[in-house]
Amino acid sequence: MAVSQTEEQIYMRTFYDSACTQLDQDIYLDVVATNSTTGTATGTDTQYTQSGTPFAYNTIAMSLTGIGTASAGISIEITDAATATSPQLGVVGVACGIATGASACGFGAVAHDQAANSDVGMTIADNVSVATGQGGLIDVTLTGSGAAYSGALNALSLTAGTFPAWAVSGGSAVDSTTVSGQLAFTPALQFASGTLTLTDSSDLGSASFTIATTGGNGSITDTATGKVVATFSVDATGTGTITYSNGTTGTISNWVLLG
């Protein structure tokens, strides 16, 4: 339903029965164009049992920037509760900025676990850029990070940080990871080669992997001591062997370590 030239309200309902008397889901969105390239959308999503009792209630907040340009951004935050007046069960946020040859995205989430009487949360950020490399290959460079959080029940909260990042506050960080790498593809988008490095601060470990079309090899390092604790190699099917620093070995099958 058009409210004005810059505002549109959207209503959508689904029903359990063909006579449309037993409401299943009720969605409402208010979409506003703030100018020619930006806009917002806010609304709710309520779900009902067949007896008509609400059992899930979500709020939705969205913003769009750069509409119709070469550099666009989107941010969405959704909260979850049993009803409109019930305590929040969780919240999720996703944001991405996309420009020619590059993208940056962020993700955040908090869950209030009443059964465990505690909260858990997480954030993820990644950046990807694309450029033409040697021999006409397409080089994809990626970096990313993630963090996990914990706290007392209802202690954690999620807020939007510097776009497109999200931030969790009110608890303690329990783990963090980083990833970086570069992948090369042919002009036909067939994989050619790549390198990846993953570091986990909680486990004090870092894994590096170099791969080509015929297979790859890598190593796992104890970041506290700088000692290589294992090396591994696989063929193109993900079959290979891992060798530990004490001389023992294990089998890798279909990219999964079996022992």
Determine the pLDDT at residue 135. 85
For the chain, the straight-line distance linking the first and the last C-alpha, in angstroms and rounded, comes to 60
Distance, in Å, from the CA atom of 238 to the CA atom of 245, rounded to the nearest integer, reads 22
Which pTM value belongs to this model? 0.85
Q: Across the strands, what pairs with 240?
A: 234, 252
Query: Is the CB of residue 257 less than 8 Å from the CB of residue 250?
Result: yes
Query: Is the CB of residue 217 less than 8 Å from the CB of residue 207?
Result: no
DSSP H helix total and E strand total for the chain = 0, 20
Query: Is the CB of residue 96 less than 8 Å from the CB of residue 164?
Result: yes
Residues 6+ apart with CB under 8 A from 79: 58, 59, 88, 90, 91
Distance, in Å, from the CA atom of 20 to the CA atom of 13, rounded to the nearest integer, reads 9
Determine the pLDDT at residue 259. 62
Distance, in Å, from the CA atom of 123 to the CA atom of 95, rounded to the nearest integer, reads 12
Residue 177's pLDDT band (cuts 50, 70, 90): very high
70-124 pLDDT, tens digit each: 999 999 999 999 999 999 999 999 999 999 999 999 999 999 999 999 999 999 9
Residues 6+ apart with CB under 8 A from 93: 75, 76, 77, 78, 106, 107, 108, 109, 158, 160, 166
Q: What DSSP string describes 85-151?
A: TSPEEEEEEEEEEEETTEEEEEEEEEEEETTTTEEEEEEEEEEEEEEE-GGG-EEEEEEEEEEEEEE
Provide the residue count of the chain: 259
C-beta atoms surrounding 201 within 10 Å: 15
C-beta atoms surrounding 153 within 10 Å: 14
Residues 6+ apart with CB under 8 A from 66: 37, 38, 72, 73
Determine the pLDDT at residue 202. 85
Percent of the chain with pLDDT over 90: 93
pLDDT at 137 over 70: yes
Phi, psi of 44 (to 5 degrees): -140, 160
| Closest of 68, 57, 59 to residue 33, by C-alpha | 68
Determine the pLDDT at residue 2. 75
| Closest of 178, 158, 173 to residue 93, by C-alpha | 158
